[in-house]
Structure 1
Amino acid sequence: MKSIYNLLKEEVRKNQAVQNSILGNSHPWKRSHYIILSEIIKEDLSNREELQNERKFELGTSISHITLQRFFESDYHYKTHNDLRFLKTLDKICIFLGFKDLNSYVMNVKENNIYNEAFFSKEFTTDIVYRYCHTNFEFFKYFPTLQLEVFDGLIFPEAPFIERIKNYSSKLCENGLKLFTHNNRSNFEIFDLDIISEESDKMVIKTQEFWNLVFVVEETGEEYIVNELNTQIYFIKNIDEKWMIWDNYNPNSGLLNNVINKKPH
């Protein structure tokens, strides 16, 4: 993720709208320059098809100059740059650069071999886990509609992991659950990530994750809350020159279904 983070900075600097402004001939950028950059991005995002309807309210169409200054002047660190709020900022930056979202940008980087794959393979591989968690949160937002295609490019379609996601999520959707996100009531955070095994065609990654999710049954308003901090294990494979998730061990997988099933009807 660090390389993606740094590459995004360069892409923004080279953006035509940025180059055609006073920013194109200014270095280094100061507070006033980030105010200008914020206005350039705001004007662009307000006209983007990607930020219409619900997605507009979810992401917004602006990035504050303070956030932009921190983005450009701070070094990347996974503990401070992988929370949901920051990932939303990266989504907006990628949309400004002409991509659908952060995932689309990362896939473009890989497909066009912008980086030396051998040198950056470990970073791209660990980044898969960060992108999966972000995508998984977005996946919940579609409930009670099942949108498994959001995992394309992250999980192998024939993998046992995607089948388990389908099984437990189908039951949640059948129960009419919808993720409640107002006032940031639902959120997640990755506290730690370690590579515990690495081979030429597979990697095993361990994470510490916190998930706080509030699901509401649309018809009754009944709430179900997931509030858990646990260790998860990701099994990532390289098949046909593509690194994607093959399986995952989550001790609390299916927990919400068990709670619903035990509840008296």
Structure 2
Amino acid sequence: MLDVVQQLTREILDHGKVRNSVLGKTNDWKNSHYESLSEIINEELFEKIDINSEAFFSLGNTISPITLKRIFKNQIKESAYKDARFLKSLEKLSIFLGYEELNVFIAQKVSSKENSEVDDLTEAISLIEKACASEYKQMLHLPDLDLEDFDGVVCNSSPYLKRIEMYLQKLSSYGKLKLQEELSNFEVYNYQLVSKDDNTLVVKTEETWNLIFSANEKFFPYQKKEEQVYFLRKNEDNNWLIWDNYNPDIDEILNS
């Protein structure tokens, strides 16, 4: 319910009548600002809730400055989320914003949030798969190195890209080391969205890497199954790119 309250307050602040009033010119609200907000909301409620309607007898068509201050200052006790009077206040705020009722607001916002997370996870999966495929491709072409495949997938100068470059340079330093493509493969699966905010996406994966290298008629296997965590950031074009990842075996890989 806290998420619902926060989303309500954000939309109220972005409402044209609020944003274009004195309230939109300061972030340091005094009691008088909540009185102004109450007047703006009540003026809308007078129009949207008819005094002869069932909604009027159930809700009324006013909300007090004190109630608004408590909501905007997050001074609401958890027990209030089950209080009918508090829920009626949220209902009136939903109506002010143009929604039929609180449940409609919740349904739309929860659906929107879930869809957004699905879209972001889908994009993250695509980027992680491309990054892993690019890394595998580079190992096939040792000792040549070309990191252009990571453009548009990984942030420039990111810690993740630097570690990949270090690892590939180390493999290249072994000279005739060759990845046996017919004996090697990798798989990334069980993607999970760990957390998300406006600029950071954290995704956990499970990965299996079966790599067989050869040099001078000798074979050098590398086989690992492990969890990894990828950290994605938005670039200047507002697109997700991989910034870093946590690989529990990275020290072993770089130092072996």
Structure 2 length normalisation: TM-score?
0.50
Q: Does 1:189 align with 2:187?
A: yes
The residue type paired with residue 124 of structure 1 is E
Contact 2:139/2:179 (<8 A) preserved: yes
Asked if the contact 1:161–1:246 (Cα under 8 Å) also holds between the matched residues in 2, the reply is yes
For the residues of structure 1 that align with 2:244 and 2:158, how far apart are their CA atoms?
A: 7
C-alpha contact (below 8 Å) 1:226/1:256 kept by paired residues: no
RMSD, aligned CA: 2.1
- Mapped to 2, the partners of 1:203 and 1:216 lie a distance apart of 38
- 2:208 alignment partner in structure 1: 210
Residue of structure 2 equivalent to 1:136: 135
Q: Tell me the equivalent position of 2:153.
A: 154
Judged with a 3 Å threshold, the aligned counterparts in structure 2 of structure 1 residues 161 and 145 are, in CA distance, closer, same or farther, namely same
Q: Would the alpha carbon gap of residues 140 and 175 (structure 1) be closer, same or farther in structure 2, given more than 3 Å must change?
A: same
- Which of 233, 236, 240 is equivalent to 1:243? 240
Q: How far off its partner does 1:258 sit?
A: 3.4
Matched, 1:229 2:228: no
Ranges of 4+ aligned residues in structure 1 off by more than 4 Å: 116-119
CA contact (8 A) 2:138 2:168 kept: no
Equivalent-residue separation in structure 2 for 1:235 and 1:119 (angstroms): 16
Q: Which residue pairs with 1:258 in the alignment? A: 255
Residue 41 of structure 1: aligned partner: none
- Equivalent pair of 1:208/1:230 in contact (CA under 8 Å): yes
The CA deviation at 1:254 is 5.0
Instruction: Say which SS state the counterpart of residue 156 (structure 1) adopts.
Output: coil
How far does residue 249 in structure 1 lie from its aligned partner after superposition?
0.8
Structure 1 gaps of 5+ residues are: 1-115, 260-265
Q: Aligned with 1:194: secondary structure?
A: strand
Query: In structure 1, how many angstroms separate the alpha carbons of the residues matched to 2:129 and 2:228?
Result: 12
Letter in 2 for 1:166: E
In structure 1, the residue matched to 2:166 is 167
Q: Which runs of 5+ in 2 are unaligned?
A: 1-114
Letter paired with 1:144: P
Whether contact under 8 Å (1:125, 1:243) holds in the other structure is yes
- Distance in 2 (CA, whole Å) between partners of 1:231 and 1:117 is 25
Contact 2:186 2:210 in 1 (8 A): yes
Q: CA deviation at 1:125?
A: 2.3
Q: Is the 8 A contact 2:124 2:203 kept in 1?
A: no
Q: Larger C-alpha radius of gyration, 1 or 2? A: 2
Q: What pairs up with 1:1-265 in 2 under 5 angstroms?
A: 120-176=119-175, 177-182=177-182, 185-217=183-215, 220-240=216-236, 241-253=238-250, 255-259=252-256
